[in-house]
Structure 1
């Protein structure tokens, strides 16, 4: 299926690893010019170079922290100067948390608010006018099933992802008249390096069966009984970026292997 994406310009935050990297690769495979944004300069540079060599497309690396105003300003200006603006924005940068409401300090709440919500606000505000000038485009937000079905040990993550989901809905209403489609994706279990790292840490003192630990998590939460690969999730993002999803506006999609327990 030709998705009609060849030659488009896509910005992917958190683009050097995990889901963001898989989305960047999925877009590059369709002939999209990709701009990878991440904090680690060497890693984002190396991954951009690998994508460019593998898929024969232009792939730019921007080292920035999108949880800060300075970081989003850097990304916006770089994309403007290099490409005139984007056709696609994937707000993917994020991280899990681990705390209780009673014990979590204010600065931790603020840090996750800046990463999960304000990064999307600032990039939407800064890049949407450039996108409009190019005739329209697509903005996708990577939230989480935890936005509606929270896990007890990460109240900050749950809350900020729920806010991101609502922001996506609000932004969609503002931009649909500019031919910019905004949607949100709520993934379930996706086998990212962070999950593997956490599993290894949790099983280090009990034999190190990290794969068994992850299998147990999948059996507990996902009726499909396994984690998704980042590429499986990326396929859905790539589809939503295309004109094949032209009537998808202001929606939230669950890609969770059946984890969601309600309708």
Structure 2
């Protein structure tokens, strides 16, 4: 199926590993040019070079902490240098671990900047580029925790919920510019962070990190397994394509049945 993405310029934040890298590869496989933004510039450039060689597209990496104004400005400038963004995938983010009673203001602010203000600032900078090109796509990678919170990460829950609402609000503002904005709420996706955490939690109890992950899947996912980054990326690629032309301002759950409500 031709997704109509050949020659489009896609910006993927947090794009050097895990879900972001899978999305970048999925878009490149459809002929899109890729700008990978990540805090680790060397890794971003290495992955971009690999993607360019594998898929025959233009791919570049930019060192950028999108939780900062300076990092966002670097992404906007790099996208302009590629000819302007057609697609923005706001993927950069990370889980948290705290209680509301004990978490300091600084931690709340750091996650707000990473999960919400990065999306706000990137929209301000990249939407004008999309308008100049006649339209575009913005996708936000939030989380099932935006609507079904986990008790041990209240800051993550709250900021991802805010990102989901920002996505809806932005969609309303730019729809008539032929810019489609949507949000994806993944469930359990087997990223390197999950594997790292599982290994840390089991290192003193036998090291069965695979068994630990299976127990998490058994508890939360109806299908009793984690999804792969590639499975999730397939959905992102579809939403970026012209096959999803009537998908505007929506939130989609890709969670293996983890959501317990309708």
Fold-level similarity (TM above 0.5): yes
Q: How many residues get paired?
A: 262
CA deviation profile, 1:61-96 (whole Å, cap 9, x unmatched): 00010000010011101211x223110000000000
When normalised by structure 2's length, the TM-score is 0.99
2:87 alignment counterpart: 88
Deviation at 1:153, TM superposition (A): 0.1
**More deviation in 51-60 or 9-18?**
51-60
Secondary structure at the aligned position of 1:35 is classed as strand
C-alpha distance in 1, partners of 2:236/2:255?
Answer: 14
Structure 2 counterparts to residues 122-137 of structure 1, below 5 A: 122-137=121-136
Structure 2 counterparts to residues 59-208 of structure 1, below 5 A: 59-80=59-80, 82-208=81-207
1:30 alignment counterpart: 30
Secondary structure at the aligned position of 1:2 is classed as coil
Secondary structure at the aligned position of 2:203 is classed as helix
RMSD: 0.5
1:48 alignment counterpart: 48
C-alpha distance in 1, partners of 2:188/2:223?
Answer: 10
CA deviation profile, 1:181-229 (whole Å, cap 9, x unmatched): 0000000000000000000000000000000000000000000100000
1:223 alignment counterpart: 222
Structure 2 counterparts to residues 244-259 of structure 1, below 5 A: 244-259=243-258
C-alpha distance in 1, partners of 2:131/2:98?
Answer: 40
When normalised by structure 1's length, the TM-score is 0.99
Which consecutive aligned stretches of 4+ in structure 1 deviate over 3 angstroms post-superposition? none
C-alpha distance in 1, partners of 2:110/2:237?
Answer: 29
**Structure 2 unaligned blocks of 5 or more:** none
C-alpha distance in 2, partners of 1:10/1:45?
Answer: 15
1:21 paired to 2:17: no
Deviation at 1:113, TM superposition (A): 0.2
**Structure 1 unaligned blocks of 5 or more:** none
C-alpha distance in 2, partners of 1:43/1:73?
Answer: 20
The alpha-carbon distance between structure 1 residues 72 and 179, as it changes in their structure 2 partners (threshold 3 A), is same
C-alpha distance in 2, partners of 1:83/1:44?
Answer: 16
C-alpha distance in 2, partners of 1:79/1:261?
Answer: 39
